[in-house]
């Protein structure tokens, strides 16, 4: 005999199909004693609900929205691609996914986008945005409307999001520091390029980085962060200045957006080959730089995993079922020239 079905449970428990159904779906109107009988039959027969049949019958459809930063960055682009890819795989079975792009540094625009969302009927939102009071409020409203909300890449710990999906950014910064410290042959100064002090992920990476450099490599000194504000020209300019004026520069750590102009400036200064450069996220730029030994290593998170995880967690929150943590933990991956994933 194959897998037991609800019919088998009904027979085994000596109750009707309807009662089994009531128990399995936690519907009211069943005596505790009967519930127990059914439960026992379930364990005795080792019944497991056939989820595909269940979903088919339930004709449940989830409507999810991904709120992602607008255009520009290569990382954001690959995220969007990942969303599209995943949404046509079996993980996105019965879910309709939309992507809303918002300008990263305009909290009001983000809030407007989120407000427009709450009016739609939708089940879940995955948000990648800096944590501002306005964004927090908007999330509060979404939650009040009964929508599942997860933070993506950069956490929003003070908003009532159901979950954070992304790497531990402090640990990522610590990892970068460990690699930097061990790769550096001599002591000197390290330049850190951050996105903006308002981006929680940048901040946390910087924090982790400083901590490990201070504890494990005290002979190295880390310069104050340069804030890029997603402005390539500004980054080129400032990095160029630093490269020219700091003879002791030995390493550069780019915590997020802006690796392309950073590399251009360093190439221009002619010092690139002597520096240990670390960056985040595997993009066409960092891939090329790795192959040409311009970047020593890249810290990355698998965007496909990120998106799949977001889908699974949003679903789990919607259905109020527990999450299988181990599968959802996003790895801090270290990519070097030799373990570059194929294109």
Identify which range of 6-14, 55-63, 148-156, 248-256 contacts a copy of itself by CB under 8 A.
55-63
Report residue 311 as tokens: 């889908």
Please list the alpha-helical segments (H only) found in 61-106: 74-87
Please list the alpha-helical segments (H only) found in the chain: 6-13, 17-24, 32-45, 51-58, 74-87, 107-119, 133-144, 169-183, 200-216, 232-245, 259-269, 284-291, 303-319, 325-328
Identify which range of 17-25, 68-76, 192-200, 329-337 contacts DNA by CB under 7 A.
17-25
Please list the alpha-helical segments (H only) found in 15-98: 17-24, 32-45, 51-58, 74-87
In the complex, minimum distance from the CB of residue 36 to DNA, in angstroms, rounded to a whole number: 10
In the complex, minimum distance from the CB of residue 12 to a copy of itself, in angstroms, rounded to a whole number: 20
What's the distance, Cα to Cα, between the start and end of the chain in Å?
A: 46
- Residue 178 near residue 212 (C-beta atoms within 8 A): yes
In the complex, minimum distance from the CB of residue 326 to DNA, in angstroms, rounded to a whole number: 25
Q: Contacting DNA (CB under 7 A), which of 2, 146, 224, 322?
A: 2
Binder of residue 109, out of DNA, a copy of itself, none (CB less than 5 to 8 A by kind): none
Q: Contacting DNA (CB under 7 A), which of 12, 39, 40, 59?
A: 59
Q: Is the CB of 58 or the CB of 84 nearer to DNA?
A: 58
Q: 82: which DSSP letter?
A: H
Q: What's the CA dihedral at 294, 262, 168, 186 to 10 degrees?
A: 50
Report residue 56 as tokens: 């088919």
**Residues 83-122 as x/- pattern, contact with a copy of itself by CB under 8 A:** --x--xxx--xx----------------------------
Query: Which DSSP helix (H) or strand (E) runs through 65?
Result: strand 62-69
When asked if residue 247 is in the footprint of DNA (CB under 7 A), the reply is no
Q: Which residues bind a copy of itself (CB under 8 A)?
A: 2, 48, 50-53, 55-56, 61, 85, 88-90, 93-94, 171-172, 174-175, 177-179, 182-183, 185, 208, 212, 296, 302, 304, 324, 326-327, 329, 331-339, 341-342
Q: Which residues bind DNA (CB under 7 A)?
A: 2-3, 5-7, 14-19, 21-22, 24-25, 28-31, 33-34, 47, 49-50, 53-54, 56-59
């Amino acid at each position: 005999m194959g897998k037991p079905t609800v019919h088998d449970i009904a027979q085994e428990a000596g109750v009707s199909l309807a009662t089994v159904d009531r128990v399995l779906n936690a519907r009211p109107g069943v005596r505790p004693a009967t519930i127990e009988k059914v439960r026992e039959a379930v364990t005795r027969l080792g019944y497991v609900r056939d989820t595909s049949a269940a979903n088919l019958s339930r004709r449940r459809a989830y409507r999810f929205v991904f709120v992602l930063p607008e255009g520009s960055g290569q990382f954001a682009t690959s995220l969007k691609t990942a969303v599209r890819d995943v949404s046509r795989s079996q993980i996105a079975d019965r879910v309709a996914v939309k992507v809303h792009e918002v300008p990263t540094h305009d909290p009001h625009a983000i809030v407007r986008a989120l407000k427009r969302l709450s009016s739609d009927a939708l089940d879940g939102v995955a948000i990648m945005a800096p944590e501002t009071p306005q964004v927090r409020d908007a999330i509060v409203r979404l939650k009040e409307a009964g929508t599942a909300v997860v933070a993506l890449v950069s956490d929003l710990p003070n908003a009532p999001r159901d979950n954070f999906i992304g790497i531990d950014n402090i640990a990522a910064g610590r990892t970068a520091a460990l690699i930097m410290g061990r790769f550096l042959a001599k002591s000197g100064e390290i330049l850190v390029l951050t996105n903006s002090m308002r981006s929680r992920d940048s901040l946390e990476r910087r924090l982790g980085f400083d901590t490990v450099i201070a504890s494990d490599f005290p002979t190295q000194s880390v310069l104050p962060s340069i804030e890029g504000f997603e402005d390539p020209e500004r980054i080129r300019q400032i990095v160029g200045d630093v490269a020219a004026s700091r003879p002791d520069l030995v390493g550069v750590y780019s915590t997020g957006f802006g690796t392309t102009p950073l590399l251009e400036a360093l190439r221009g200064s002619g010092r690139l080959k002597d520096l240990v450069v670390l960056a985040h996220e595997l993009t066409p730029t960092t891939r090329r730089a790795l192959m040409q030994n311009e970047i020593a290593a890249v810290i990355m998170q698998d965007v496909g995993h990120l998106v799949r995880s977001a889908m699974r967690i949003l679903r789990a929150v919607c259905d109020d079922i527990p999450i299988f943590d181990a599968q959802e933990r996003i790895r801090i991956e270290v990519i070097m020239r030799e373990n570059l994933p194929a294109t």
